[in-house]
Amino acid sequence: MADRAIGIFDSGVGGLTVYREIARQLAGEEYLYLGDTGRVPYGTKSPSTVLRYAQEAAAFLVSHRVKMIVVACNTASAVALADLEERFRLPVIGVIEPGAHKAVAVTRNRRVGVIGTEGTIKSGAYTRAIHAIDPQIEVVSVACPLFVPLVEEGWAEHPVTRLVAEEYLAPLLQHDIDTLVLGCTHYPLLKPTLRSLLGDDLTLVDSAAETAKSVREVLHRDHLLRLSPPAAPRFFVTDLPTRFEQVGGSFLGDLLPNVQQVEIG
């Protein structure tokens, strides 16, 4: 069991920011990554549709005999985590709880902002996860639907993106938050723009590092850390690999080898 791969899925390329961090912290593991690029994005779709897609993505990974599933997509984590745990009887780790824990740990004034896709924000999953730890924290959430297309266009540091960010973040700044959760795996690429807009006093919380820590803890707890020599990661997508390889490179900061198209629906 310990020598099986860690399965990671996302709606597309965004989850590569999470994969990168896990692979950095756990370099000896084997990884299978699935990007559902044929049906991307999840963030504008309804919870029932995202749940179905997440079930199909997880089933694909389970059919490849993974030892754990990482849901490297905030929208899917928000609606599908409990269902996947029950359905597949494997450790399932999402990105929302780790991000919520980090936000609670770092906020000083106990006012936390959360930005994400429409699906993630509407689900209220971050607010619930933060309040489960500390119900006194004020959580202000804003959906930012244009951030994903702007990042995918390669405009993460474009003046247009700064203008869009000013408009989206205005309600958060009015609440005097001191911590902002980047509740979408595309958003770490916006850090320079957000930082220049928000200043250095505000803490940006990116779930990737915290999620990797959770993965490590669970593998350790369940005696599932890999002992065999490391194997090369494999990447699967549900559309042609071309665009995933191109855009994914900027998320991974490296070339993407071994990308293969599969059907999962």
**Amino acid letter for position 55:** Q
List the alpha helices (DSSP H) in 31-176: 47-63, 74-88, 96-106, 118-123, 125-133, 147-152, 159-174
Q: How far is the CB of 73 from a second copy (least distance, A)?
A: 16
DSSP-derived letter for residue 256 is -
Q: Among residues 135 and 159, whose Cβ is nearest to a second copy?
A: 159
Q: How far is the CB of 172 from a second copy (least distance, A)?
A: 18
CA distances from 187 to 74, 204, 259 (A): 11, 10, 23
Tokens of 252: 């991974």
The reply to whether 144 belongs to the active site is no
Report the interface residues with a second copy, using CB under 8 A: 37-40, 44-46, 48-49, 145-146, 149-150, 152-153, 155, 159-160, 163-164, 167, 238-240, 242-243, 265
Residue 93, SS3 per DSSP: strand
Q: How far is the CB of 84 from a second copy (least distance, A)?
A: 19
Q: How far is the CB of 48 from a second copy (least distance, A)?
A: 6
- Residue in the structure block whose two tokens are 């990974």: 61
User: Within a 10 A sphere around the Cβ of 176, how many other Cβ atoms?
Assistant: 11
Catalytic residue among 13, 18, 23, 73: 73
List the alpha helices (DSSP H) in 222-265: 241-252
Catalytic residue among 164, 184, 194, 208: 184
Backbone angles phi, psi at 251, to 5 degrees: -80, -35
Q: Among residues 138 and 239, whose Cβ is nearest to a second copy?
A: 239
Q: Among residues 105 and 163, whose Cβ is nearest to a second copy?
A: 163
Q: Among residues 166 and 217, whose Cβ is nearest to a second copy?
A: 166
User: Within a 10 A sphere around the Cβ of 93, how many other Cβ atoms?
Assistant: 25
Q: Would you state the torsion angle of the CA atoms of residues 143, 149, 155, 161, taken in this order, to the nearest 10 degrees? A: -30
Q: How far is the CB of 263 from a second copy (least distance, A)?
A: 10
Do 130 and 205 touch, CB atoms closer than 8 A?
no
Q: Among residues 38 and 124, whose Cβ is nearest to a second copy?
A: 38
Active site residues: 73, 184
